[in-house]
Amino acid sequence: MSATALGPAARAAALERMRGERFDLLVVGGGITGVGIALDAATRGLSVALVEAHDIAWGTSSRSSKLIHGGLRYLEMLDFGLVREALRERRLLLTTLAPHLVRPVPFLFPLTHRLWERPYLGAGLLLYDTMGGARHVPRARHLSKRAALRWAPALRPDSLVGAVRFHDAQEDDARFAVHVARTAAGHGAAVATRAEVTAFARDEGGRVVGARVRDGLGGGELDVRARHTVVAAGVATDRVLELATGRPQDALRPSKGIHLLVPRAAIPMRTGLFMRTEKSIFHAIPWGADHWLLGDTDTDWDGEPDAPVANRADVEYVLSKVNSVLVRPVSRKQICGIYAGLRPLVAAEGAASTTRLSREHRLFAPLPGLSAIAGGKYTTYRVMARDAVDAAARDLGAAAPSRTHEVPLLDAGGEVDALAASDPALAAPIAGTRHRAADAVHACTHEGALDLDDVLTRRLRVSIEVPDRGRAAAAAIAPLVASALCWSDARTAEELAGYLRLRDAEAAAADAPDDVTARARYRAVLDAPKGV
């Protein structure tokens, strides 16, 4: 078994290590920040265990705009430090750490004012092009109205007076997080998903010395011992810290953002679109060869952090924004997929809107032996991880500096091809998708997928890319996944029904008028008696 493989055998081995070892660091949370912390600590020579209640990148880390960006709008907020930091990380990912996972993507910024906007935006983009160091994406170019419409004939001529074309970068967020987790495992980290912390352990002096963890697959619980524990649970941070301290926490103010996927043919453009809105920024982002990713929204969320859902008002808002500049409007019938995520924004006293909250991260030390990190954004995950491990290392008396700026992420590109070549059946396409059967099997044997939703939502993206939300694909790959994960026929049927019900619940929520109704409809579908 490869040291970087995250299949069932690797999970079992990780849990066995957790039963017997005392680790330097226990990481709670398998989003991009948690797996980044595991990688940073492991490459410093620390022994590391990571537990995640669900799947790698199960929450916000699979529901982002999928951009690696400097944060152009933060220039307007005069947050130069955050922009400079993010641009440095963008350059590092594109040139050194993950050029196989991150690629430049072009955007058109339409201008709507004739006099002041071009010099104003041009000055900002000049900073944007130079703050990150050496050139690593094409520089911004000013375009006339006629030139802009050649790039984007979908735009109404009266929606702009000119434009500026610039570049940011893009990744598949969930797949990126899996590669970070696999790289961490390759450096010795023990990684276990479906492993939920149910309590924290303390010694006689009150210091946190590990956690009780429930095995969500095998049943039972185990005690994971660690010299220091760091919580990187994203929007669930308050809930986890309340479990540790016994006191309610209010460190975060979650903000919901939703995205729509529509066919590339629905919007004839050769470049992405970047527009200001009354609240924030709207994007139309090229996604693969066949889709546009449209979004997003920015609204308060006061429901459970585990199940953010889109509602009808969210969908109509996104469609209205893109249609305000298009010659041919996009209809709801053209939507292939919808997803909702929560930004783990750090609460700030007096902030009236989530759009004004900073994207900087913050470290907490609620108890001896326990720290937590929250906030931040995907682009700067490596910086967040470095800062979290620096704090833990000080507590441990370890002096090893961070090395992740020079540690490339795993490049596993040839693995799936080898698997497909080994069996003609695995080279066959999955019904209604651009993927091969080998992609689904590899997701289970090497990428930590443990059910159909893991495979089709976070590894292959089928649930948001095809109009039937992956229903036909789920039926086609269920036997392959069952074989890879050793399911019985009854378990396979149960897993398939569960996947279909989850998609039905999301559809019911997306047709509700508001968040309260959407949450109720979502739960009603999931909780309905089987067979109803």
The 10s digit of each residue's pLDDT in 300-355 is 998 888 889 999 999 999 999 999 999 999 999 999 999 999 998 887 644 444 45
Angstrom distance (rounded) from CA 182 to CA 185: 5
Integer CA distances (angstroms), 280 to 50, 295, 333, in order? 35, 11, 26
pLDDT of residue 134: 59
DSSP-based three-state secondary structure for 45:
coil
Q: Going by C-beta distance under 8 Å and a sequence separation of 6 or more, which residues neighbour residue 66? A: 170, 171, 172, 173, 285, 287, 293
**Residue 488 phi, psi (nearest 5):** -80, 170
pLDDT of residue 115: 86
Cβ-contact 323, 260 below 8 angstroms: no
E-strand ranges in 65-116 read: 67-68, 103-111
pLDDT of residue 389: 98
pLDDT of residue 125: 86
E-strand ranges in 54-97 read: 67-68
Q: Going by C-beta distance under 8 Å and a sequence separation of 6 or more, which residues neighbour residue 351? A: 253, 357
CA dihedral 324, 330, 332, 333 (to 10 degrees): 170
CA dihedral 126, 131, 137, 138 (to 10 degrees): 20
Q: Which tokens is 164 given?
A: 């500026």
pLDDT of residue 354: 47
| Residue of 200, 210, 203 whose CA lies nearest to 243 | 200
pTM, entire model: 0.96
pLDDT tens digits, 483-498: 999 999 999 999 999 9
The total of other beta-carbon atoms located within 10 Å of residue 368's CB is 15
pLDDT of residue 519: 96
Angstrom distance (rounded) from CA 473 to CA 468: 9
pLDDT of residue 359: 66
DSSP-based three-state secondary structure for 434:
coil
What is the mean pLDDT, run by run of 10 residues, along the chain of 532 residues?
91 98 98 98 98 97 94 76 90 96 96 90 85 80 97 98 96 98 98 98 97 96 98 95 93 92 97 88 94 94 90 97 97 97 78 53 94 93 97 94 97 92 95 94 98 98 96 97 97 97 97 96 92 58
Could you write out the DSSP letters of every residue in 12-39? HHHHHHHHH-EEEEEEE--SHHHHHHHH
pLDDT of residue 451: 98
